[in-house]
Structure 1
Amino acid sequence: MSKDVTVVLAHGAWADGSSWSKVIERLRAKGIRAVAAPLPLTSLPDDVAALERTLDHVGGPVVLAGHAYAGGVIGSVTAGHVRALVYVAALAPDEGESVGEVFGRTAPHPDAPALTPDEQGFVWLPDEAFPKAFAQLATPQEQAVLRAVQRPIALAAITTPVGRPLWKDVPTWYLVAEQDRMIPAENQHFMADRMGATVRVHDVDHTPLVTAPDVVADLLTEVVEQTRKGL
């Protein structure tokens, strides 16, 4: 169990832990341990349980970061050793809200895809959405990989109301992605302001962990350094 701060990273819908690989590399180069938690995306309780298993495994003080859908997951954990939260273009439902409700509070971007569950209740991102909305600033190769490894999300994951969110009790940062076509920047600013988060605004798309990893790694490094001062 590490006594230093560990960064735990939670991926969003239509992604897996590999989406954080560039950020992990950059944190490692700075001497910061980072672990990507595998989320099944089968329900909000399932994802919270999976994240808490990773937190238990890591131990020690943690800076917990979530991308997109995972904002609802990181805000729902109860692990006492989480010292700070970082939302990366992420959804932040308040108590009694679902991820889907806060996702839909503003009009969608014109290039945002229509999202419809399949017969088993899972939502897949259409292939054309990766270059048009999900990661429009990524290279064609990066977009191809994101399509190939996408993990569908169950409708149950985004329709379950959350309890009292952890962001009410620990320091919180928010990276607003101004070119986000999945979660409009207007909505991100609303959520960040409501949380009272420390806001960092960047001209990036919905997946800065892939397309602007230095921006994400620099923010996480800032939060780790602040957290270390409080230990």
Structure 2
Amino acid sequence: MSEQQERVSKSSSSSISSSTQESEEELTIGTLITEAANTTNSAKSLGRRLSHLDSIPHTPRVNGKIPDFNNATIDHESLLERLGTYGLAEYQIEGDGNCQFRALADQIFRNPDYHKHVRKAVVKQLKEFKKHYEGYVPMEYKVYLKKMKRSGEWGDHVTLQAAADRFAAKICLLTSFRDTCLVEIVPRDATPTRELWLSFWCEVHYNSLYAIEDLPSRKTKKKHWLF
């Protein structure tokens, strides 16, 4: 075999391997999404518990400035007070930059370790429906997509909207915002088939949210955000 033929052969093998891997990943994501659609939505009890609260309209946006220590502390105390008021508890999510995707994975699959699959599904949504999201991204969209593909890249309110759209889910955030505590993110073109409940310590961290009596007993593997 000539050197040129060998290079062509290696290139073809590499392309086939890459294509096979992508197909397997898509199959895994598709299977998980199907499984998620068939899971029991235990979050409905949270919706009933907080049904009297007004939510603010959601506008997708990228992350803002991280608050300084004093403001972050005040925000965290405010969030904890709200959790106590409504009988809610956080399943503490690892603070490794993937917390939004881990929290979503915990709500969808009851396993935060599926965060990589959630991220891939969200990035696929962002890529396939660019026109829905690019107007909210104050940078070149290709650069934004490249960032969001990376493990450890913080999710934002654009990725939350994409997740709501991809999983046909209403995502409810109990937040530390001082002017409101509830934000609801609904799918653009579908009726929600489930509710996903997250707590949002604003611009700092996401956790998965449960009624106190339903809080899972499983433990996180690594540290979570705490002062």
Q: What range describes the TM-score normalised by the shorter chain of this pair?
A: under 0.3
If the length of structure 1 is used for normalisation, what is the TM-score?
0.26
Structure with greater Cα Rg: 2
Higher relative contact order structure (alpha carbons within 8 Å, sequence separation ≥ 6): 2
If the length of structure 2 is used for normalisation, what is the TM-score?
0.26
